Amino acid sequence: MSGAADFDTYRLSEDHEAVREAVRALAEDKIKPFAAQVDEESRYPQEAHDALVAADFFAPHVPEQYGGVGADALATCIVIEEVARVCASSSLIPAVNKLGSMPLLLAGSEELKGRYLPPLARGESTFSYGLSEREAGSDTAAMRTRAVREGEDWVLSGQKSWITNAGVSQYYTVLAVTDPEGRRGNNVTAFVVEQSDEGFSVGEKERKLGIKGSPTRELHFDSCRIPGDRVVGEVGAGLKLALATLDHTRVTIGAQAVGIAQGALDEALAYVKERRQFGRAVAEFQGVQFMLADMAMQLEAARQLVYVAAAKSERGEPDLPFFGAAAKAFASDVAMRVTTDAVQLLGGAGYTRDFPLERMMRDAKITQIYEGTNQVQRIVMARQLLGG
């Protein structure tokens, strides 16, 4: 076949495979042993944090000119996937570091990038993202947080909800309305807020179904004054920047979902090979084999879609909004199906905390919700299709 050589080139590079090998070894050795305890105690996975910093996987997306390793979008997805395979909470460390800092990479001044990206690359702070509010979740343009210019400064008032790693992070990208009378969607501005800023505080940790090791809190701004040089991008262009950020970072949530699903499939495979019923291994029953085949097929389809979306993210292609939404929606739906089936394959054992599958099932659920519910992802995809 004349096209055979072209097919041979469709594989991950040696560098990408080396990243996977390194992250998998680190995850198995430094993160997996603490995953159940992190979930049980609802505590921040400091062991994972420290291991990721030491290995330069804490914020691998930061470009080399700012002290990072300059991992491309696909390599960053592989890092998140492999960490999520053993601990979804820990995978949110590199994922949210990209989410919080992506607005700076897309639109920040060189001064802002030079100030905040090097300490992020060094692991001195996580970087959170403040977009959602209690009454402005899917409808982000309805946000009520305000920023008023006073001289050279801006004064923020309001709150943000469901903020991942809030309280741990030193830095936050926060979206606020800067022109209440302006046109909806063109009246929002992005700012960098530091944890030490006067008038800024965080609420109590949310009590959640899953990802219990990743603290989720509200952000509160009580006349929080920040200098004018903390504006990210153009005044009034914040919502467009926020949505452009999500086009890129939804791909990383797809990677997280793939990792969770892979971890669940691995556990289920190991169990059914050992578990015996009716005088033979459970894996020998055709009904079980069909379940495993479907799980693996769906998982591999999700992985390939995520990797294609990551490549489009790296190149900044115009159809990224469709592929980012598709990767996130499809992979998260797959993660929910695969983890649920994995619990089923273990039977009663799968329902207990003696095995990690019930944790993986709980963790998988959030991937269908955050960074835009899967219903919102379908709206994004439909708009792309109808818009040509």
Distances (CA, A) of 77 to 65, 105, 196, 208, 310: 21, 17, 31, 25, 7
pLDDT at site 185: 85
Model pLDDT, residue 4: 42
Q: What is the pLDDT of residue 178?
A: 97
CATH 2.40.40.20 fits 4-121, yes or no: no
pLDDT tens by residue, 32-68: 999 999 999 999 999 999 999 999 999 999 999 999 9
Within 10 A of 82 (CB to CB), how many other CB atoms are there?
Answer: 27
Span 183-230, pLDDT tens digits: 988 999 999 999 999 999 999 999 999 999 999 999 999 999 999 999
Q: Do strands 171-177 and 127-130 pair parallel, antiparallel, or not at all (unpaired)?
A: parallel
CA distance 26 to 309: 26
Q: How far apart are CA 304 and CA 283, in angstroms?
A: 26
Q: Where residue 1 falls among pLDDT bands split at 50, 70, 90?
A: very low
The CATH T-level fold of domain 127-236 is Butyryl-CoA Dehydrogenase, subunit A; domain 2 (2.40.110)
High-pLDDT (> 70) share of the chain, %: 97
What are the domain boundaries of the chain? Answer: 4-121, 127-236, 240-386
CA-CA distance, 152 to 215, in Å (whole number)?
34
Answer yes or no: 267 catalytic.
Answer: no
pLDDT digits (tens, 9 = 90+) for 328-364: 999 999 999 999 999 999 999 999 999 999 999 999 9
Does residue 1 sit in helix, strand or coil? coil
Q: Is the pTM of this model over 0.85?
A: yes
Q: Which of 82, 267, 358, 371 is catalytic?
A: 371
Helix (H) or strand (E) holding 193: strand 188-194
Q: Which amino acid is at 123?
A: G
**Domain 240-386 sits in CATH 1.20.140.10:** yes
